[in-house]
Amino acid sequence: MGTYEDVFRASTEDPEAFWLKAAEGIDWEVAPRRALDASGAPFYRWFPDGRLNVCFNALDRHVEAGRGEQPALVYDSPVTETQRTYTYAQLRDEVAAFAGALAQLGVGRGDRVVIYMPMVAEAAIAMLACARIGAVHSVVFGGFAPHELAVRIDDAAPKVVVSASCGIEGKRVIAYKPLLDQAIELAVHKPEKSVILQRPQQRAELGPDDLDWADLIADAPPADCVPVAATDPLYILYTSGTTGKPKGVVRDCGGYAVALHWSMGAVYDIGPGETMFTGSDVGWVVGHSYIVYAPLLAGATTVLYEGKPVGTPDAGQFWRVAAEHKVKTMFTAPTAFRAIRKQDPKGELTADYDLSGLRYLFLAGERLDPETYHWASNLLNIPVIDHWWQTETGWPIVANPVGIEAAPVKPGSPTRPLPGWDVHVLNAAGEPVPAGVDGAIVVKLPLPPGSLPTLWNDDDRFIASYLSAFDGYYLTGDSGHLDADGYVFVMGRTDDVINVAGHRLSTGSMEETLAAHPDVAECAVIGVADALKGQVPRGLVVLKAGTHRKPGEVEAELVQLVRDRIGAVASLKDVAIVPALPKTRSGKILRKTMRGIADGHDEPIPSTVDDPAVIEALRPVLRRADHTP
């Protein structure tokens, strides 16, 4: 491929030629003659005249090329003590069968299907089945509560919802069907049918609008791939913004397929027949891209793992998976490694497994702290590669692309911008800052293929959220700096988004939930540093005058409220009742100041503060190291 500089220069000097060349890695029904369509700027479209089917590229073409007997997907589930390997031919057949079933339910090109499932192979099968018939899937993470699912159902307006009878969290069986029923009850839009995968751990009672997955596929004729426009949506993935209403990130077909296929070789150094294991969930972007689509587009083998890295049965599961399935590239969030390290500080469990085939560990989703980086590097003795991306971008913005050329690692930096990503750091006035100085990390438009073309049904919010802060640039929402060697350092979000155990959550949505409690006058939720999860939310609440409750009662109700409304994944376990919240003279709550104090920084008190005594009174509460009330 040449050096990193060569490849990056090629992508900036002639992006048209660069991406048309990358597009040759995809099988097209109609090959694109153009890469970028800028006629609707700032809405850019990639491969406007191309037609393809992403499922065909992920499955059928490998079977047609003689790879039908190669493992495509390994479902590995220590929590149910099961494993199943699907060859490319088997996975194609299962996907075609489920696609046929969806088609029989009247799902066609452009129709939406919401998928609310645990980490079972059928979740990936449902996604690919949608892609096969040109339907648009929207996967909702299983840890979200019915209210969050309902919000997404209302926004995506799906014809059909696909779910399962239950999920398994460690040793607990979580019934999904009652959550789905509640969500449909809450939603204004009513899907026509729900398809339920019955799992033996707990079967669900089916209602009049529910269909059993197994019955449905038994009767359905398999569906062929439907070629669609490259610019057609492949999926919608909701992600946290600064308010309670999530943003529906749209992913197109052509740009995504091209970018992901390209990234597999260039970034992750994975080719056909090699195995990638991504320890995440199909409910997150990492799962969409690097559990499902990218490894299959590349003709590789992907491991879909159901369980936590620790707990059931032990903290050696990632090593077992790597050894048993001959994983070359492992990818997860730093939190997973912190959890493993906590239970097995010396990494002794690695001794039980042959890890000689493991070549790289990629980490993303949150800041990689230097201790975790050094621990993993020393333990595994392979390159540990931090890389930075977002739901919006679909694939990494900044990485150390070992498939092109491995650069020396600087701990704390996910390394340099990937081809296609023209990264800059600007000050508040929109001027570039010198090397080493922090500012807003932005990307010059157009964004490369694979990144979001817009938000679902909300072009205005797309512009307001990402394109209006700095003319001609995409606002990432992260702050940080570039160093003299062009390495990027990501310091943290500039908005109300926090990252808890690698899961992106909105403190704004938690505040909306707390504020709904009848005793709450006002509140703030801030993300505070946590040794395991990176960050956890902490709620600070002022009660209405005259509220008399037993100590701890309101706090417990508030914790439960967030769990019921947003979901257990929000991990809000710490709520403190305080006499007042610090504000500016114009009434703005000083969240950043509180965050700084909570994290132990010598946070300056802004000159605009209304009453410094309020902050002083809060210091002991904010500084509390133990995050449980």
For position 321 contacting ligand COA by CB under 6 A, the verdict is no
For position 279 contacting ligand COA by CB under 6 A, the verdict is yes
Residue 499 site contact among ligand AMP, ligand COA, none (CB < 5 to 8 Å, cut-off depends on kind): ligand AMP
Cα 442 to its chain centre, rounded Å, is: 20
Which residues, 567 to 586, sit near ligand AMP by CB under 6 A?
A: none
Cα dist from 65 to 88, 272, 594, whole Å: 11, 11, 58
The residue behind tokens 């320890």 is 279
Task: Kindly report the three-state secondary structure assignment for every residue of 73-106.
Answer: EEEEECCCCEEEEEEHHHHHHHHHHHHHHHHHCC
The residue behind tokens 């500012």 is 439
Which residues, 545 to 584, sit near ligand COA by CB under 6 A?
A: 568-569, 571
Residue 446: is the preceding peptide bond cis (ω within 30°)? Answer: yes
Which residues, 85 to 144, sit near ligand COA by CB under 6 A?
A: 118, 142-143
| First-to-final CA distance of the chain | 54
Near ligand AMP by CB under 6 A: residue from 111, 386, 511, 574 = 386
Give me the least distance between CB of 502 and ligand COA, in Å please: 3
Strand order in the sheet with 233-239: 210-212, 193-197, 160-164, 112-116, 136-139, 233-239, 247-252
DSSP secondary structure code for residue 568 in this structure: G
How many chain residues bind ligand AMP (CB under 6 A)? 20
The stretch near ligand COA (CB under 6 A) out of 330-338, 406-414, 603-611, 613-621 is: 330-338
Which residues, 430 to 449, sit near ligand COA by CB under 6 A?
A: none
For position 501 contacting ligand COA by CB under 6 A, the verdict is yes
Give me the least distance between CB of 502 and ligand AMP, in Å please: 7
* Residue of 395, 369, 387 whose CA lies nearest to 533: 369
Give me the least distance between CB of 362 and ligand AMP, in Å please: 10
For position 394 contacting ligand AMP by CB under 6 A, the verdict is no
- Round to whole Å and give the CA distance between 579 and 469: 35
Residue 458 site contact among ligand COA, ligand AMP, none (CB < 5 to 8 Å, cut-off depends on kind): none
116 or 362: CB nearest ligand AMP: 362
Long-range contacts formed by 281-284: CB under 8 A, 24+ apart? 281/119, 281/141, 281/142, 282/115, 282/117, 282/119, 282/123, 282/124, 282/127, 282/139, 283/139, 283/140, 283/141, 283/142, 283/143, 283/144, 284/141, 284/365, 284/391, 284/502, 284/503, 284/504
364 or 581: CB nearest ligand COA: 364
* Residue of 518, 269, 477 whose CA lies nearest to 385: 269
For position 502 contacting ligand COA by CB under 6 A, the verdict is yes
Kindly state the tokens that stand for 41: 């700027």
The stretches of 486-624 forming alpha helices (DSSP H) are: 507-515, 553-565, 591-598, 612-622
Helix (H) or strand (E) holding 265: helix 254-266
147 or 367: CB nearest ligand AMP: 367
Radius of gyration of the chain (CA): 24
Near ligand AMP by CB under 6 A: residue from 365, 448, 534, 539 = 365
102 or 164: CB nearest ligand COA: 164
Residue 158 site contact among ligand AMP, ligand COA, none (CB < 5 to 8 Å, cut-off depends on kind): none
Give me the least distance between CB of 567 and ligand AMP, in Å please: 15
Give me the least distance between CB of 176 and ligand COA, in Å please: 8
Give me the least distance between CB of 441 and ligand AMP, in Å please: 9
Is the CB of residue 285 less than 8 Å from the CB of residue 239?
Answer: yes
Is the CB of residue 193 less than 8 Å from the CB of residue 209?
Answer: yes
Near ligand COA by CB under 6 A: residue from 263, 335, 350, 413 = 335
* Residue of 556, 550, 546, 549 whose CA lies nearest to 514: 556
In the chain, the largest separation of any two C-alpha atoms, in whole Å, equals 74
Near ligand AMP by CB under 6 A: residue from 499, 509, 513, 571 = 499
Residue 4 site contact among ligand AMP, ligand COA, none (CB < 5 to 8 Å, cut-off depends on kind): none
Near ligand COA by CB under 6 A: residue from 48, 71, 167, 534 = 167
Give me the least distance between CB of 510 and ligand AMP, in Å please: 16
The mark string for 401-430 relative to ligand AMP (x by CB under 6 A, - otherwise) is -------------x----------------
The stretch near ligand COA (CB under 6 A) out of 9-17, 247-255, 292-300, 329-337 is: 329-337
- Round to whole Å and give the CA distance between 411 and 43: 36
For position 282 contacting ligand COA by CB under 6 A, the verdict is no
Residues that bind ligand COA (CB under 6 A): 118, 142-143, 167, 169, 174, 279-281, 284, 286, 308-310, 332-333, 335-336, 339, 365, 500-503, 568-569, 571
Residues that bind ligand AMP (CB under 6 A): 239, 285, 364-368, 386-391, 414, 477-478, 490, 493, 499, 504
